Amino acid sequence: MISPTKNTALVSLLAEVVDPIGPHPVVYHRAPGTKDGTGTPLRPAAVLFPLTYRNNQLQAILTVRNQSLRNHPGQISFPGGKADQADSDVAATAMREAFEELGILQQDVAVIGALETCTTGTGFSIVPVLGIIPPHYPYRIDRAEVEEVFHVPLDYLMDDARHQRLRRLFNGSPQEYFAIDYEKYHIWGATARMIVGLHGRLGGKHATPRFKKLFSICDNA
């Protein structure tokens, strides 16, 4: 397990690139022909972008969604979902959903902060909440929502050479999107966009000193 001193240093590094936790932002569909985005409000949602220590590395935790779900069936995602009225802020939504899907307790998550809001073509406005959970966590998976949990080294995800830009038809129009392949998993869409967003906040490919400092903390754990 990583030492408390190194954990504090890692949290401090990540804290430099995230936003404070706050309420769900109000984000609108952009009405055709307008510039101010004053169409129908998108449905607020949040995900936990969970990190943990595994094999002496900092790794991201991802899930494979159940094939029977209405929204994004079978896709790779972070644990999360739409906001409830009782949720006090974006972290409350992310924590509630992480507990429902994976059994992760709120008190076991060291919340670092939020990343930029990610909108989807299915009508959601999603805030990723970055957090660290203890290693070898005893997940309790809700099989109705999650088929599988897997881990990916964060330095793999932060390698911009692995960030693909692909195109597909969406509602009859070609759309460009990010994708990242890891072993048998094809990470794409909103989840890949969130990963690329963290990469950008860390300074992208020009952040070598920061990356070295960040990942040496994990390599020496």
CATH of the domain at 19: 3.90.79.10
Element (H, E) at 10: helix 4-15
- Number of domain units in the chain: 1
pLDDT at 63 over 90: yes
CA–CA separation, 63 and 150 (whole Å): 6
CA–CA separation, 193 and 78 (whole Å): 12
- Model pLDDT, residue 72: 64
- Model pLDDT, residue 210: 54
Structural domain of residue 132, as residue ranges?
4-219
Distances in whole angstroms, Cα of residue 28 to Cα of each of 23, 35, 38, 41, 94: 16, 11, 6, 4, 21
- Model pLDDT, residue 9: 65
Q: Give me the sign of the Cα torsion angle 150, 157, 100, 111.
A: positive
Count of other CB atoms within 10 angstroms of residue 89? 18
pTM of the shown model? 0.85
Q: How confident is the model at residue 141 (pLDDT cuts 50, 70, 90)?
A: very high
CA–CA separation, 115 and 90 (whole Å): 11
Contact 149, 48 (CB under 8 A): no
Tokens representing 175 are 């759309």
CA–CA separation, 2 and 51 (whole Å): 13
- Model pLDDT, residue 220: 32
**28 DSSP 8-state letter:** B
Contacts of 181 (CB under 8 A, 6+ apart): 162, 164, 187
Average pLDDT, the chain: 83
